[in-house]
Chain A
Amino acid sequence: MPGSPLTRRAFLGAAGGAIAAYGCSRKSHPRGHIQGRAPGRALGAEELAVCEAACERIFPADADPGATRLGAVDYIDRRLSRPGPRARRVRRKLKKGLALLVDWSRKRQGAHFLDLEPASQDVALASLAAEGGDDGYRFVRQLLVLTVEGVLCDPAYGGNRDRGGWKIIGFDAPCPNPRCE
């Protein structure tokens, strides 16, 4: 399709009009979230924790499971650990973006992303997309795409556990893919 998709920065996410009302919930032990967590294949322990928290805001649990339970981060970590220049590029971008998100939360909301309440995490993501320049927007968009892939992919990739994502979207594939059995 012609035309750049990066022209508009308006943000219609869960934060709604709350972008201005920056949350300022503070807990002072981000490490508490990370402690005891093993590093992933492609992401370090903290990156993994930040990624998981952000994915869960993008696709939160409600009556249906959210990104965490559906294994979206498992999918992302596995995909990023694949060999080759393409996965390497995506990995580099995502790691940079996760660091940007942590920085952004600190600067704008005075706390580590992991220490923010969920509503404030929503604001952090929303404001990063809307006001964080090209890098901010591109990162949130990348994470959004990866999360959607993680919750709706063939379960063979580690996401969409128990086909829970497909149940949400009503895709009951007569799946002729031997890998997803």
Chain B
Amino acid sequence: MAFPDVHDVLVIGSGAGGGPLAYELARAGARVLVLEKGPRYSRGDLIHDEIKICRENFFVPYEGDEPHVLVYGGGKPVRSKQGWIASCVGGGTVHMSGFFLRLKPEDFKLHSRLGDVDGADIIDWPISYGDLAPYYDRVEEIVGVSGTAGVNPFEEPRSGPFPFPALDEHPIAKEIDRACAGLGYHAFPLPRAILSRPMAALPGRGICSYCALCGSYGCENGAKSSTAETVLPLAEATGRCEIRPRCMAYQVETDGKGRATGVLYFDADGKTQRARARAVVVSCSAIESARLLLNSRCSLFPDGLGNGNGQVGRNLTFSNHRDGFARFDLEKQLGARPWLSSQEPFVHRCVQDFYFDPTPDSPTGGTLSFLLAHRNPIGNAEVQAISGAGDLTFGVQLKERLRRRIRGAVNLSFESFCESLPNAEMHVTIDPDVRDRWGVPSARITLAHHRYDLLAAEAVHEKGMQILMALRPDETWSPYPFAESMILQYGTCRFGKDPNSSVLDADCRSHEVRNLWVVDGSFIPNPGGVPPTLTIMANSFRVGSAMAHAFRRREIPG
């Protein structure tokens, strides 16, 4: 390195956490370097090839290259690619479904609402819904969210309508509205981070073409509101933000005074490089950010950076769910319900009547979200060919299933996003044996759910099945047990008022290393009942604008 590579702010990770903050800081005049482990894809790369995009390492690395180690319920450690979010410029926002639901004011006060809960370690957030609300508005405006406000009786306080009108819906959405009304529930339209109309501020972006494959794929039109289509190019347009893809950060460096000085990373050729900055922002996903900090050991921080209190990697949670399915046989139903054959891909119906206290036993719940079954042909056929228990089906019987259950039917399903309570048994640590392809020790993810997690997902599942049944399908089923969505991860560097039970302060700044910030899902103390992406982006704008303010006053490093 002939010249030292020095910047004002170094951001590690370019997804929902890194993107908005990079933009805010570059706008404020800071020179920002964004290091991204994955490649930078263009729209042309985002083809709808199921094998390449969903079954290979386009977004998520192979477990042979970059393993995670999973320990489930005290069982044997297994190598897995679970727990990765997309490795590419834009991170998970590139292939997200973009269900942009806000948290509720009560989610920020879990401890106040529940009190001490046996076997859980819950806290109140150091900020309130009101502190985040303006930044929710800002995300919706700057990246583009389409939706209809004012329908959900449980809607969070919001300042006005969505900036873009709702996307078109499959006619079954109206049936869900009716079925829910009949049961005394309140279905409402799901807001999505997809453009339904052109966006004046980013005229190069296209609008939704209603293609058959959306979630798990990138958008070749630029209609999906990823950071790669929005805040990152806006940050670059300032002339002060550089995005460096294929750079794998493996150690945050510090000086003798305990301040972060920069980062060591492997470049695209596998060579070690060093970048320096006055402030370091970590946003690699809850699991990978914990791994990076725990791997950043030195004499001053023998247990990892910012981990003097042993809290880094603790309080890991995921959004939990248990899904249900319903099949409408076209042959039987098309006469009475001709609209079933509509090719509209979106249903966009959610129900939040069970968000809190869904049953007398369960104080936590979540959001139900109805959607048509994903249309991936291989994925669908695989489910018909290999049962959850491993039974194999082939021959004419397999073909018959594909014709009858998939081609000849409309498959409606629901998923849910349920609250999860942090507990001492669920965490990220560094695996003692397993390393990735660069030789960097891998993250070990230990999973053990609080009993409220299971109660919440089961209670919401039961309500979902009740709604499906009310739609009079030909068959309903729910073959899969309770599970966590491992791409929706939270909590490993939670923020809090008490420096003993949290890693970050209210501004997502390390209690211990004052020029270190963490802004991905790590900061979130509990998931609430919605997916995290919108909240991570809103918080990144919040933290970014506070940092920008400090930067303008020359208070970075603070």
Query: Chain A: residues with CB nearer than 8 A to chain B?
Result: 1-15, 57-60, 62, 64, 85-86, 122, 125, 129, 137, 140-141, 144-145, 147-149, 151-154, 156-157, 165-166, 168-171, 173-180
Is B392 an interface residue when CB atoms closer than 8 A count as contact? yes
Question: Considering the chains assembled together, what is the distance between the CA atoms of A125 and B375 in angstroms?
Answer: 29
Residues in B with CB closer than 8 Å to A64 are 399, 403
Flag if A12 contacts B392 (CB, 8 Å).
yes
Flag if B396 contacts A173 (CB, 8 Å).
no
Shortest C-beta distance, B379 to chain A (Å), equals 9
Is B338 an interface residue when CB atoms closer than 8 A count as contact? no
Residues in B with CB closer than 8 Å to A3 are 388, 481
Flag if A154 contacts B394 (CB, 8 Å).
no
Shortest C-beta distance, A143 to chain B (Å), equals 9
Question: Considering the chains assembled together, what is the distance between the CA atoms of A137 and B55 in angstroms?
Answer: 22
Question: Considering the chains assembled together, what is the distance between the CA atoms of A145 and B49 in angstroms?
Answer: 17
Q: Can you name 10 extra interface pairs (CB under 8 A) apart from A58-B398, A60-B395?
A: A10-B391, A12-B397, A57-B395, A59-B394, A145-B386, A147-B394, A166-B377, A173-B375, A174-B212, A179-B49
Residues in B with CB closer than 8 Å to A171 are 212, 375, 377
Give A85's nearest chain B residue, CB to CB.
B64
Question: Considering the chains assembled together, what is the distance between the CA atoms of A141 and B408 in angstroms?
Answer: 26
Flag if A13 contacts B395 (CB, 8 Å).
yes
Flag if A58 contacts B395 (CB, 8 Å).
yes
Name 17 A/B residue pairs within 8 A (Cβ), A-sorted: A2-B481, A7-B389, A8-B391, A59-B398, A60-B396, A62-B399, A122-B395, A148-B385, A149-B51, A153-B378, A154-B51, A169-B380, A169-B402, A169-B407, A170-B406, A173-B213, A174-B209
Residues in A with CB closer than 8 Å to B49 are 154, 156, 177, 179-180
Name the interface size band of chain B.
Answer: 35 or more
Residues in A with CB closer than 8 Å to B432 are none
Flag if A176 contacts B48 (CB, 8 Å).
yes
Question: Considering the chains assembled together, what is the distance between the CA atoms of A2 and B486 in angstroms?
Answer: 12
Residues in A with CB closer than 8 Å to B209 are 174, 176
Question: Considering the chains assembled together, what is the distance between the CA atoms of A6 and B381 in angstroms?
Answer: 19
Shortest C-beta distance, B437 to chain A (Å), equals 11
Residues in A with CB closer than 8 Å to B396 are 14, 60, 62
Question: Considering the chains assembled together, what is the distance between the CA atoms of A60 and B386 in angstroms?
Answer: 17
Residues in A with CB closer than 8 Å to B481 are 1-3
User: Which of B211, B382, B392, B403 contacts A129, CB < 8 Å?
Assistant: B392
Flag if B47 contacts A170 (CB, 8 Å).
no
Give B393's nearest chain A residue, CB to CB.
A12
Flag if A152 contacts B483 (CB, 8 Å).
no
Residues in B with CB closer than 8 Å to A170 are 403, 406-408
Question: Considering the chains assembled together, what is the distance between the CA atoms of A153 and B459 in angstroms?
Answer: 38
Is B72 an interface residue when CB atoms closer than 8 A count as contact? yes
Flag if B51 contacts A144 (CB, 8 Å).
no
Using known A-B contacts A14-B396, A149-B51, determine if residue A6 contacts B212 with beta carbons closer than 8 Å: no
Question: Considering the chains assembled together, what is the distance between the CA atoms of A174 and B214 in angstroms?
Answer: 12
Question: Considering the chains assembled together, what is the distance between the CA atoms of A41 and B382 in angstroms?
Answer: 26
Q: Which of B394, B398, B403 has the most CB of A within 10 A?
A: B394
Question: Considering the chains assembled together, what is the distance between the CA atoms of A58 and B377 in angstroms?
Answer: 17
Is B220 an interface residue when CB atoms closer than 8 A count as contact? yes
Flag if A86 contacts B64 (CB, 8 Å).
yes
Residues in A with CB closer than 8 Å to B213 are 173
Shortest C-beta distance, A49 to chain B (Å), equals 19
Question: Considering the chains assembled together, what is the distance between the CA atoms of A140 and B395 in angstroms?
Answer: 13
Is B73 an interface residue when CB atoms closer than 8 A count as contact? yes
Residues in B with CB closer than 8 Å to A137 are 390
Using known A-B contacts A58-B398, A171-B212, A173-B213, determine if residue A148 contacts B378 with beta carbons closer than 8 Å: yes
Flag if A173 contacts B398 (CB, 8 Å).
no
Is B41 an interface residue when CB atoms closer than 8 A count as contact? no
Using known A-B contacts A122-B395, A144-B392, determine if residue A154 contacts B380 with beta carbons closer than 8 Å: no
Question: Considering the chains assembled together, what is the distance between the CA atoms of A147 and B51 in angstroms?
Answer: 13
Flag if A169 contacts B406 (CB, 8 Å).
yes
Question: Considering the chains assembled together, what is the distance between the CA atoms of A135 and B72 in angstroms?
Answer: 26
Using known A-B contacts A57-B395, A60-B396, A175-B48, determine if residue A148 contacts B390 with beta carbons closer than 8 Å: no
Residues in B with CB closer than 8 Å to A15 are 395
Residues in A with CB closer than 8 Å to B48 are 173, 175-177
Residues in B with CB closer than 8 Å to A179 are 47, 49
Residues in A with CB closer than 8 Å to B47 are 176-179
Is B480 an interface residue when CB atoms closer than 8 A count as contact? yes
Flag if A6 contacts B390 (CB, 8 Å).
yes
Flag if B408 contacts A140 (CB, 8 Å).
no
Shortest C-beta distance, A177 to chain B (Å), equals 4
Shortest C-beta distance, A92 to chain B (Å), equals 14
User: Which of A4, A85, A157, A175 contacts B51, CB < 8 Å?
Assistant: A157
Is B50 an interface residue when CB atoms closer than 8 A count as contact? yes
Using known A-B contacts A176-B220, A177-B47, determine if residue A148 contacts B382 with beta carbons closer than 8 Å: yes
List the 8 closest A-B pairs by CB distance, nearest first.
A14-B395, A170-B407, A152-B377, A5-B390, A177-B47, A58-B394, A8-B389, A171-B377
Give A148's nearest chain B residue, CB to CB.
B381
User: Which of A9, A14, A152, A165 contacts B394, CB < 8 Å?
Assistant: A14
Residues in A with CB closer than 8 Å to B388 are 1, 3, 5
Shortest C-beta distance, A17 to chain B (Å), equals 13
Is B266 an interface residue when CB atoms closer than 8 A count as contact? no
Residues in A with CB closer than 8 Å to B58 are none
Residues in B with CB closer than 8 Å to A140 are 392
Is B185 an interface residue when CB atoms closer than 8 A count as contact? no
Flag if B377 contacts A165 (CB, 8 Å).
yes
